A and B are shown apart, each in its own frame.
Chain A
Amino acid sequence: KQEVTQIPAALSVPEGENLVLNCSFTDSAIYNLQWFRQDPGKGLTSLLLIQSSQREQTSGRLNASLDKSSGRSTLYIAASQPGDSATYLCAVYDGNKLVFGAGTILRVKS
């Protein structure tokens, strides 16, 4: 059974810092991996989708990497801003089914 773990569970950083969120999964036979952002009481916003044949994806200040062989993905946020404060969820695809991690709660202090 696929299990997804996100570390750390919570992170508090000063504005301007670069930071890395970690995601690990137990079964390397995944299709795609997707990072989401969730603001309190809101829905899921897709940040980056990494297809199984890719090693990374970039969007603005965000960069996500994927290493299937080691069962790891990282989300790198450059020059963090208070507006980046949210919960970040990692999910791996088992076919079209998603298996989610519990998320990392990020707080960026101004």
Chain B
Amino acid sequence: NAGVTQTPKFQVLKTGQSMTLQCAQDMNHEYMSWYRQDPGMGLRLIHYSVGAGITDQGEVPNGYNVSRSTTEDFPLRLLSAAPSQTSVYFCASSQDTEAFFGQGTRLTVV
């Protein structure tokens, strides 16, 4: 039982490049979410999904897209990376209001 798996662990992008952060869970949870963590600010919700085919915006959605074609996967897409998106990204899955987090992706945009 792997829990929540995020890939890659580290990534450096140039401004304007696109990429997808992958997130997969094997706990059959309906609810999945993406957070970003910036120094001194805790974690902030980017997007979330309550089940396959359903997504919604969180607190800081601009510059990010998501989709949920399966229960297991919830990728986060950066269409045109900006230096302001330099951050650590965490994916989580939840059931009955208990969240489980991946190990994070450290993204640097230069």
Contact partner, A93, options B43, B97, B102, Cβ 8 Å: B97
Minimal beta-carbon separation of A92 from chain B (angstroms): 10
Asked if residues A43 and B90 are in contact (CB atoms below 8 Å), the reply is yes
User: By DSSP majority rule, is chain A's interface helix, strand, loop, or mixed?
Assistant: strand
For B9-51 the 0/1 string (1 means CB < 8 A from A) is 0000000000000000000000101010000111111001010
B contact set with A: CB distance below 8 Å:
31, 33, 35, 40-45, 48, 50, 58, 90, 92, 94, 97-104, 106
Instruction: A96-B31, A97-B58 given; name 20 further pairs at CB < 8 Å.
Output: A31-B97, A32-B98, A34-B98, A34-B99, A43-B102, A44-B101, A46-B101, A51-B97, A93-B97, A95-B97, A96-B33, A96-B94, A96-B99, A97-B45, A98-B33, A98-B35, A98-B99, A100-B44, A102-B40, A102-B41
